[in-house]
Amino acid sequence: MRRTKIISTFGPSIADPKILKDVCEYADVIRINLAHGTWDESEEYNHKKNIQLIQETAKNLKKPVAILVDLKGNKIRISNFKDHMIELEHGSEINIVFTSEKMANNYEIFIDADYCFSKIEAKDKILLDDGLIQLIVTSINEENMTLHCEVEKGGLLRSNKGFEVENKIIHRSGLGEEDKRDIKRLAELGIDWIALSFVNEASDVTKAREVLTQVGSPINLIAKIERLEALKQLFWIIKASDGVMVARGDLALESGPGELTGLQKDIIKQTVKGKRIAITATQMMESMISNPTPTRAEMTDVSNAVLDGTDAVMLSAETAIGNYPVETVKAMHEVCKGAETYQETITKNEEYKFSEINNIDEAIAISSMSIARNMDIKAIVALTESGSTALMLSRYRTNIPIYAFTRNEDTQRRVSLYRGVISYQYPFLVDNMSDVIEDVRKELVGSSILKSGDLIVLTSGSPLRVSGGTNSLRLINI
């Protein structure tokens, strides 16, 4: 059983239902980035249709695949190219034009963000596509709102990639009106997680939560950490959110490559300690966009994230536009499994404490894991409505499997992002606990997950079917 979860990004490479099915065999979550694509339902591949395709694929697989959607946020992006991409050569010249036009020719770059034009000066370094492409501003035409640039670091530049200026903050802060509209659309479509870009403080998460509350949606929120400024407020951002994503692309532009690894480890540690989900993202198997196997460095990168304690590792362009999406998710699956064989030897002697204990179900989770780690416990079973007990249990990094039995489909999908948790749909048609235990035994023994006589810990609430009501644990020989 692989405990670390895998997030694969949706795109043209996996839009074919058969390929998507093959990817979902290994992926636990499918991500959609609203910065790419459209809501226009006249287009063949629109966001609504893509979400429904993922939901239908998961249903056919009988697997609780969650959907994570990145809001556009305030990240500045270049417009589209007629040929979808252009090649920039070192030493060549290119103009960046600030305009509302959406389609650029193949010898200029268009950007619809005139509010930041005045912040850019001659000799500034422009960073495109997470810094993979770098330009130097040689002169500025104020009248035409054009930057004349020289290519310092060239390469293939695709449509809609990010635009940054080194050592300057040029984007707007806060939750925009378009993002608010998108949140309401996503609530209607029943997705599971929303990722918020460029979160600088807890109030950025709170504003999104208010929109969800207005429409009565249970969608969970992921705060993407992309700015050094956010690290000053990390404790409060963690408390306000349901999870944190280490968005290494933009974060590296500010921190520099030397500090990034340390920042990743610290963010993951604080997030897990704060009882939230940690996701590690960006360029984890980048070479597999065009190659069928990962590099040794990429294998090590994924392994280190697993050993850092991340809940999930994420594939972006690798599955969205890559040539080998199925091979990529399979490779990540194998690397994660391999790294996890070392996880228990690293953490088995650690005494783990939450930053605070607020609820009975948290105390039950800690007690359950303490018992499990000191006895020959084969599994922990959580009978859960909301998934909160499964979340608390999964904050420990051990090799003890956690099985979440729930009657709620949204809970089943949500916990698919929790490290080490496997969910089962269970209708709770009986009221007697002995009957429930017998049903659990039949499921786990019948599917050869456990064998008769194995000792398990079972957590539950009394009465059953009450959210947040976990108040007991049992040791059971099944």
User: Bridge partners of 5?
Assistant: 312
- 261 classed as catalytic: no
Q: In angstroms, rounded to a whole number, what is the distance separating the alpha carbons of residues 275 and 113?
A: 37
Q: Which of 2, 3, 75, 224 is catalytic?
A: 224
Determine the Cα angle at 415 with ends 411 and 410, to 5°.
Answer: 20
Backbone angles phi, psi at 153, to 5 degrees: -135, 110
Phi-psi region of 146 (alpha: psi -120 to 50; beta: other; left: phi over 0): beta
Q: Which of 282, 384, 411, 470 is catalytic?
A: 282
Rounded to 10 deg, the angle between the 177-189 and 202-214 helix axes is 50
63 CB burial (10 A radius; 0-12, 13-18, 19+) = middle
Alpha-carbon distances of 239 from 336, 341, 416, 460, 467, rounded to whole Å: 28, 31, 21, 25, 21
Q: Which of 3, 77, 378, 413 is catalytic?
A: 77
How many Cα atoms are found within 13 Å in the side-chain-facing hemisphere of 250? 25
- 276 classed as catalytic: no
**271, 259 Cβ separation under 8 angstroms:** no
453 CB burial (10 A radius; 0-12, 13-18, 19+) = exposed
- Which two three-digit tokens encode residue 363? 């105390």
User: Bridge partners of 473?
Assistant: 459
Do β-strands 402-406 and 421-425 pair in parallel, antiparallel, or remain unpaired?
A: parallel
- Which two three-digit tokens encode residue 213? 């509350």
- 77 classed as catalytic: yes
212, 217, 220, 221 alpha-carbon torsion, rounded to 10°: -10
Q: Which of 2, 3, 31, 414 is catalytic?
A: 31
- 282 classed as catalytic: yes
Q: Which residues are catalytic?
A: 31, 77, 224, 282
